[in-house]
Structure 1
Amino acid sequence: MTQQNKIQNPAMQIPKSPAMNDRDFINDMLATEKYMTASYSTALNEASHHSLYEDVLTIFNETQNCQRELFNTMFKKGWYGFAPAEQQKLQKSYQQFQGYSNQFPYPNGQIQ
């Protein structure tokens, strides 16, 4: 894949030094928020008390929103990019998961 095919904004220049720069700090915060949302998700799955579940859900949503804002900041500054999906791979995944729907106990996955 060539660099031209990458979906990315022009990268904001950062000083090259052994010290942490803005990109390093935001990347570290983003990694932390991703880890925290995964952990809160586990806590939500295992919460046995409704009030506890509601409190953790509120914290999870705040953390997820923070993670998204950090991601958006990195993308806007050109520090995060994507490779576009190839049509052939998309079609293969679609067919694979379409086949899984035949295994559902209800037509079209709908409970009647």
Structure 2
Amino acid sequence: MNDRDFLNDCLATEKYITNAYSIALNEASHEALYQDLLSIYTEAQNEQRQLYNLMFKKGWYKLEQEDQQKLQQKHQQFYNYTTTQFPYGGGQLQ
């Protein structure tokens, strides 16, 4: 296993872990347990971000730039949705 594969596996694991902790946080009814889970979640999320940054820096995690017109169209689509579907004057996504 090369470095790229190893880091990719670590990143996928951290994503899985943070997702699981996020669900646990939503279900925790005891405050002390919630705080412990939140602390662990935050640490795992920070590790995930560091792995992402390292892979991005090395060119192993690439993102494609989206066309500005497509971004505007999506923004308008979701803005229109929030103003018509959400109660209390939704449309705060400007």
Aligned to 1:90: 71
Gaps of 5+ in 2: none
CA distance in 2 between partners of 1:23 and 1:35 (Å):
18
The structure number with the bigger radius of gyration is 1
Aligned to 2:18: 37
CA distance in 2 between partners of 1:96 and 1:108 (Å):
13
- Post-superposition Cα deviations, 1:55-94, rounded to whole Å, max 9, x if no partner, equal 1111000000000000111111111111001112211110
Aligned to 2:88: 106
Q: How high is the TM-score relative to the length of structure 2?
A: 0.89
% same residue: 64
Q: How high is the TM-score relative to the length of structure 1?
A: 0.75
CA distance in 2 between partners of 1:99 and 1:109 (Å):
7
CA distance in 1 between partners of 2:42 and 2:81 (Å):
30
Deviation at 1:107, TM superposition (A): 2.5
Task: Please identify runs of 4+ aligned residues in structure 1 that moved more than 6 A.
Answer: none
Gaps of 5+ in 1: 1-19
- Post-superposition Cα deviations, 1:15-65, rounded to whole Å, max 9, x if no partner, equal xxxxx0111111110000000011100001111111111111110000000
Aligned to 1:49: 30
In the alignment of these two chains, the number of paired residues is: 91
The answer on 1:65 being equivalent to 2:36 is no
